[in-house]
Chains A and B, each alone.
Chain A
Amino acid sequence: MDRRQFSLTLVGYSLLGWSGLVQSSSVPSATAIVTSLFTHYESAVNLGQRYLTLFPKEANYDWLTRTTLPDGYNQLDFQILKQTLKMQRQKDFYEGNTVMLDGWILAHTEARLCALLALT
């Protein structure tokens, strides 16, 4: 599967939510979940790569998963997961827990989700 096909696949995943994945394998991985959040795979990867050049020490799949995704993430309903991440993002902004990528002020959570994708 080339990159283009892969991202088209992601669009499909994303439209279904990861429940589609659950049907085909019992416990979805963090990768599957994060990819299902993004329809624009390359954009998210670009941001993630930029983030990891700024924070190379965070290029650790397990650590990023633990830090970014909520507990029991692979058992949550897709909409609840999205809502949880949204609240986490808002909290980041509230607390000033932000990162600057090319001047863009982003919540750490959203940048780390992209980083997670860039590592897969």
Chain B
Amino acid sequence: MINDFREMTNETVIETDICIVGAGAAGISIAKYLNGSNISICLVESGGFEFEEETQSLYQGKNVGLKYFPLDTARLRYFGGTTNHWTGWCAPLDKIDFEPRDWVPYSGWPFTQKDLESYYIQAQKWCNVGPYRYQPSDWEADNFKLLALLPEKISNKLWQFSPAPTRFGIAYRAELEQATHIQVLLHANVVEVVSNQSAQVVEGVKITTLDMTKTGTVRAKVVILACGGLENPRLLLVSNRVQTTGLGNQNDNVGRFFMEHPVVNSGELITLKDSRFLANYGNITIRNGTHLKPAVSISEIAQPKYQTLNVAVMMYSDSFKEQMEGYLAAQKVFRALKSGKFADNLRHDVIHAITDLDNFAEGLYYRFRGTNKPFPHDTSISLTSLSEQTPNPNSRVLLDTEKDKLGLPRIKLDWQLTALDKRSIRITNQLIGEEFGRMELGRLQLAEWLQPEDDHFETLTGGYHHMGTTRMSEDPKQGVVDKNCRVHGLANLYIAGSSVFATSGNSNPTLTIVALAMRLAEHLKKQVVS
């Protein structure tokens, strides 16, 4: 059943077993998972079925740290949430991402990748991607070959891509509409999570329409916040009537540890041989209907050795496209060589010297003799790193003094990175440079900004991934939720979404969000029924 709160009577009180706040990937997944059980659910959503500018403006906020996207363009506030324009890149978190690593502060989840595997398998379907096969070796039989990299340094990593990524609001609307135990409540903005006087049990949530002519309450045995990685901490912080620092914030952790996936231009690779072998990396390859995109990343063996975070590097080049059409990139480079068009920074010297050492002289010899031994293929490939971010308590979501239309303080986002973040990207790219050199494939130049050993970032952007702000830890001093996503200190308040991520890995978050949502639903099924 789907209702519009604007059409209900003022001061409505809804009684339900579980109240889920937010109908995005996380909220819809939980409702969908519990559909068919006898548990009654109220899925409260701020927006309607379409984008509405006024509702979206509730998402405005300030960036006071590193340069970041305007906060109201980094997510969407209507039914289906940000999946209404997500791009569909999926990969599970890597095994190492769940492990405690003594060189990564605050690292370690209270469970392993294996514990999540059965949910990942199911999440693949809900996100409309292929089978749960993320090892490059899983695809070798399908004639999908990648470089044989030295496992002590670099490994291949696969993403799956959905050309028609699931818009959760569209894909699962009918199912929710028909579900007998589920009520979706549109245009209902949660403005407060209400607790008892000791702030140990939540009683429900307060809701209001955008024009504030209707207010109401959803009373529930269990409340789940599923409003996204920026809004979950905001709702906890504004719910400060009893616990004055904000619900669940007894240890001042709510809003801290904000993580993104730093995306940076980290360098350039010149390939001195036929670079068609790299085309698999530059393109999306389709095998058995599954869209695959590989990258290289620092291996799980190298991370402890070099004390780095988990960094992946994607390769992009126009020439990949050309090569697919049968062009030789070398011809382009030859023309550039002849016209002296190479940039100054030793580029042409490196190309000359290295090709000389690599039998280039013989190539020249053949040219003088009029025979047509092909020129070495030289292609420039740009490298984009997407990285795990160090969990950092100073990188955080704060409340501003400015308020939104509903009278709630807006967000101030103070995104911060550390020297470890930069060092990890530098070392990963250095190791890739070593591997390409060892395999006689080419030479890598680190981007200029990446060369100094400091914490200064350039060409920095993010992936629109908001993680860590209500992080998971069994120790209430180091996290906001426990291993079951329950807020420490509160018997019946849970959180869904990437705000619970203890560490971020370098995989896009939505597949993990959906898997975790299923895991939470499974936990609640047992809890609520018992």
Q: List residues of A whose CB falls within 8 A of some B CB.
A: 11, 14-15, 37-40, 42-44, 46-47, 50, 82, 85-86, 89-90, 92-94, 96, 98, 100-107, 110, 113-114
| Complex-state Cα separation, A45 to B464, whole angstroms | 46
Bound-state Cα–Cα, A40 to B363, Å:
13
User: How would residues 346 to 361 of chain B score, 1 for a CB under 8 Å from any chain A CB and 0 otherwise?
Assistant: 1011111110111111
Which listed segment binds A: B29-37, B415-423, B439-447, B471-479?
A: B439-447
B434 within 8 A of A: yes
A90: shortest Cβ distance to chain B, in Å? 5
A101 to nearest B CB, angstroms? 6
A15 touches B361 (CB 8 A): yes
B438 interface contact, C-beta 8 A: yes
Contact of B360 among A39, A46, A92, A96 (CB under 8 A): A39
Q: Give the docked Cα–Cα distance between A42 and B349 (Å).
A: 8
Question: A46-B346, A50-B346 known; A82 and B359 CB under 8 Å?
Answer: yes
Q: In the bound complex, how far is the Cα of B357 from the Cα of A82, in angstroms?
A: 7
Cβ of A101: which chain B residues have Cβ within 8 Å of it? 346, 350
22 of the cross-chain contacts (CB-CB < 8 Å) are: A15-B361, A37-B361, A38-B356, A38-B357, A39-B360, A39-B361, A42-B349, A43-B353, A86-B358, A90-B437, A98-B434, A100-B430, A100-B451, A101-B346, A101-B350, A103-B445, A104-B445, A105-B430, A105-B443, A105-B446, A106-B443, A107-B437
Contact B361 A102 (CB under 8 A): no
Residues of A within 8 A of B444 (CB): 104-105
Is residue B11 contacting chain A, with contact meaning CB distance below 8 A? no
**Is there a chain A Cβ closer than 8 Å to B267's Cβ?**
yes
How far does the alpha carbon of A74 sit from the alpha carbon of B431 in the complex, in Å? 34
Closest A residue to B435 by CB, please name it: A93
- Residue of B150, B267, B349, B359 near A103 (CB, 8 A) is B267
Given contacts A39-B352, A43-B348, A90-B438, 8 further A-B contacts (CB under 8 A): A11-B361, A37-B357, A38-B356, A85-B357, A98-B433, A98-B437, A105-B437, A110-B353
Q: Given A102-B345, A103-B345, A89 and B434 touching (CB < 8 A)? A: no
Cβ contact of A110, chosen from B150, B357, B445, cutoff 8 A:
B357
A46-B349 contact given A90-B438, A105-B434, CB 8 Å threshold: yes
Contact code string B260-277 (vs A, CB < 8 Å = 1, else 0): 000000010000000000
Q: Give the distance in Å from the alpha carbon of A105 to the alpha carbon of B353 in the complex.
A: 13
**Interchain residue pairs A-B with the least CB separation, the first 5:** A105-B433, A40-B352, A43-B352, A93-B438, A93-B437
Question: Taking chain B's interface residues, is the majority helix, strand, or loop, or is none over half, making it mixed?
Answer: helix
| B441-467, CB < 8 A from A | 443-448, 450-451
Task: Closest A residue to B153 by CB, please name it.
Answer: A96
How close is B430's CB to chain A, nearest CB, in angstroms?
6
Select from chain B the residue with minimum beta-carbon distance to A85: B357
Q: How far is the CB of B343 from chain A (nearest CB, A)?
A: 11
Greatest chain A CB density within 10 A among B267, B345, B361, B365 is at B361
Interface centre among A44, A82, A89, A103 (most CB of B within 10 A): A103
A94-B350 Cα distance, complex, nearest whole Å: 20
Q: Which residue of B lies closest to A17 (CB)?
A: B361
Query: Which residues of the other chain, B, contact A105 by a CB distance below 8 angstroms?
Result: 430, 433-434, 437, 443-446
Instruction: Knowing A15-B368, A47-B349, A103-B447, say if A93 contacts B359 (CB, 8 Å).
Output: no
- A15 pairs with B356, CB closer than 8 A: no
For the complex, give the distance between the alpha carbons of A85 and B440 in Å.
13
Instruction: Write out the residue numbers on chain A whose beta carbons fall within 8 Å of the beta carbon of B351.
Output: 43
* Chain B, range 325-374, C-beta contacts under 8 Å to A: 345-346, 348-354, 356-361, 364-365, 368
Inter-subunit contact B353/A47 (CB<8 Å): yes
**Inter-chain contact A104/B443, CB cutoff 8 Å:** yes
Contacting residues, chain A, for B433 (C-beta < 8 A): 98, 105
> Contacts of B368 on A, CB cut-off 8 Å?
15
Q: Which residues of the partner chain A approach B352 to less than 8 Å between Cβ atoms?
A: 38-40, 43-44
Interface centre among B352, B440, B448 (most CB of A within 10 A): B352
Determine if B353 and A100 form an interchain contact, defined as CB atoms under 8 angstroms apart.
no
Once the chains are docked, how many angstroms separate the CA of A39 from the CA of B349? Answer: 11
Docked complex Cα distance between A22 and B345 (Å): 37
Smallest beta-carbon distance B380→chain A, Å: 13
Task: Tell me whether B364 and A11 are in contact (CB under 8 A).
Answer: yes
Query: Which residues on B sit within 8 Å (CB–CB) of A104?
Result: 346, 350, 443-445
CA distance A105 to B351 in the complex (A): 12
- The minimal Cβ–Cβ distance linking A29 to chain B, given in whole angstroms, is 19
Distance between Cα atoms of A89 and B437 in the complex (Å)? 8
Residues in B neighbouring A96, C-beta threshold 8 A: 431, 434
- Residues on the A chain within 8 Å of B451, using CB: 100, 103
Residues of the A chain whose Cβ atoms lie less than 8 Å from the Cβ of B356: 14, 37-40, 43-44
Give the residue of B150, B346, B365 whose beta carbon is less than 8 angstroms from that of A94. Answer: B150
A41, B392: Cα distance in complex, Å = 50
Q: In the bound complex, how far is the Cα of B359 from the Cα of A101, in angstroms?
A: 22
Residues of chain A within 8 A of B267, CB atoms compared: 103
B-side contacts of A113, CB under 8 Å: 357
Min C-beta distance of B338 to chain A, whole Å? 13
Q: Chain B residues with Cβ under 8 A from A50's Cβ?
A: 346
In the complex, what residue of chain B is closest to A106 when comparing beta carbons?
B443
Residues of B within 8 A of A40 (CB): 349, 352-353, 356
* Residues on B with beta carbons closer than 8 Å to the beta carbon of A86: 357-358, 440
Query: Which one of A11, A37, A89, A98 lies within 8 Å of B430 (CB-CB)?
Result: A98
In the docked arrangement, what's the CA distance between A4 and B353, Å?
Answer: 17
Q: How far is the CB of B346 from chain A (nearest CB, A)?
A: 4
Using CB atoms, name the residue of chain A closest to B267: A103
**Residues on the A chain within 8 Å of B446, using CB:** 100, 103, 105
